[in-house]
Amino acid sequence: MARRNGILSSMGLPLLGLSLCLVLLSAGALGFEAYRSARSQRATSALAVHEFASFAVWSVSRYAEGGYAEVLLIFFQSLGEKPATRESIPPAQWLVNRADDLRRCNCYAQIPPLAYFRVSYADSVTSMVAPDGTPLGATDENLRFSKRVRNAIARGERENPGKRLNVVVASEAPQNELFAYVAVRDSAAKLIAAYGFVTTQEQYAASMFPSIMHDKTLVPGTRGASAASESLFVLTVRDRSGRRIFRTDSNFNDATAVARDTLSLSPMHGGFMLELAVRPEASSQLQLLSVPTSRVPLWLSILALTAGLVAVGAWRLREEHRTARVRAEFVTSVSHELRTPLAQILLFGETLTLKRTRTESQRQAAAEVIVREARRLMRLVENALHFARTERVTNVSAPERMELASEVAEILESFTPIAEAASNALRDDLEDGLIVSIDRSAFRQILLNLLDNAVRYGPRGQTVQVELVRSNSHARLMIRDEGAGVSPAESHTIWQPFVRGSSGLASGESGSGIGLSVVRDLVARSGGRVWASSSAASRGAEFTLELPLAASSDPESNGTNSRR
């Protein structure tokens, strides 16, 4: 028994030692993992703080560039957007008035000018105006000032030829001046005048960045605290030579910054270097923003995002199938519409070629059918071409002034054979003297599409009424048919591509479904509007087109001329 106890005792010591070693090893492994986790967390926190600094300096640059661009656009308005003449350009006092308007806006950036200037290259005269509107005399200092203005404009034209708005920084000047100007050019793109203002780089920075740092939220999660950005970051602005021209906290010690990042503004906004430093006391707050308390919200967010992506994918797949079906129907409809006039042209062309006509009137009738169907075919092709390039075309190609009544009468005359072929009559009541500015071919396509729509969906033997009247400062053109009309539910949907009204579908009338969408697009590009409703007079559909009148449309000189 004693021997057994001795054996157990001798075996217990190594087991105890082994157990202690295992505990020590486990504790060491846990300690090492804790050390690695702490170091990883510190590295992650430091990286997160640096990323916050990068995001914040990017936010400052976007606010600065956006605010200054807003100021320049408001200040210069539309000056220089269109070709001008020497007589049409305003005097230098115009800039002082614009500055007064700018001060009344809610812009967080303002212009702190040393002076406003107007350089006229037609007569080589440079006008300088003080911020209070007082013209600057021809002193030696002002003459040197004027020379610096012309040199800055010449430099801007060399570096950015043909550009409307320019900002030139002259760091070599004693005042480190910043010139912002707008170039006014004639129809030959020749510079005839320049308007702008001069300020110093320090004044520019002092007018822009304090409001950004005080009022704007630069990083997510800090919204709601007063002057939050100022309590987290210190912003330093330097010019192109590296000279400091602005700092939000002049007492800040650069050595205490826990992270910093830099970013340059574009040349259009002075090309300044922005340097954003994170305050030491802000490090813990930013770290809390960067470390989530639980991964469950993240997992749920990923799950929700995945479910959303699956739903979007299923919806897109459904839309692709629907689009493919609609396009197939569109191709079938267009093919059918193209086949009908082509068959007519071929039939009567062969009739003329084989000399099957016996009288001159028969030959004339065959030729008229060929011309009529060719025009119809051309209109179908123009609709299809316009619809195909709708996303690439930005405006109507060549707007011109024209008198609507004569243009509408000419279009109605050319459309009469097509209307008569469907046993339809055209009746017009057109007010003279209504002048609009619109692309002639676009207006022709708009009216022909609306007339074709009225003939296509109206009954045989109907009278299509076309009325042109003045409505305040607009010309209003109304096309009425005697068909089934347009229901309120369809008055908006029929303008969409590939959508046809229920009356056309019920009657089995063929159509591509793009005619009215082309009309809506062309009218919108021409600055007008178009809508559909049911006509109380004819109990059919009424399509109304409104176009803004040109400035020379005099209501006192306008008469009324009815063509029936």
> What digits encode the pLDDT tens for the residues 410-446?
989 888 888 888 889 999 999 999 999 998 888 988 8
> What digits encode the pLDDT tens for the residues 231-262?
788 899 988 888 888 898 888 888 888 888 89
Round to whole Å and give the CA distance between 49 and 75: 38
Distances (CA, A) of 14 to 9, 11, 19, 24, 54: 9, 6, 8, 15, 58
* pLDDT (0 to 100) of residue 225: 47
Q: What are the backbone dihedrals phi and psi of residue 164, each rounded to the nearest 5 degrees, phi first?
A: -80, -55
Report pTM. 0.44
Helix, strand and coil content of the chain, in percent to the nearest 5, comes to 50, 20, 30
Amino acid letter, 420: E
Q: What are the backbone dihedrals phi and psi of residue 98, each rounded to the nearest 5 degrees, phi first?
A: -65, -35
> What digits encode the pLDDT tens for the residues 252-309?
888 888 888 898 888 877 788 999 888 887 766 665 555 444 454 555 566 667 667 6
Asked if residue 223 has pLDDT above 70, the reply is: no
Q: Which two tokens stand for residue 535?
A: 């006509």
Q: Are 195 and 79 in contact (CB under 8 A)?
A: yes
Round to whole Å and give the CA distance between 148 and 126: 11
377: three-class secondary structure by DSSP: helix
* pLDDT (0 to 100) of residue 303: 60
What is the CA angle 414-418-419, rounded to 5? 100
Exposed/middle/buried for residue 121 (C-beta within 10 Å: 0-12, 13-18, 19+): middle
133: three-class secondary structure by DSSP: coil
**What is the SS3 string spanning 52-118?**
HHHHHHHHHHHHHHHHHHHHHHHHHCCCCCCCCCCCCCCCCHHHHHHHHHHHCCCCCCCCCCCEEEE
Non-local (6+) Cβ contacts of 252 within 8 A are 234, 277, 279
User: Which secondary structure element, helix H or strand E, spans residue 435, and what is its range?
Assistant: strand 435-439
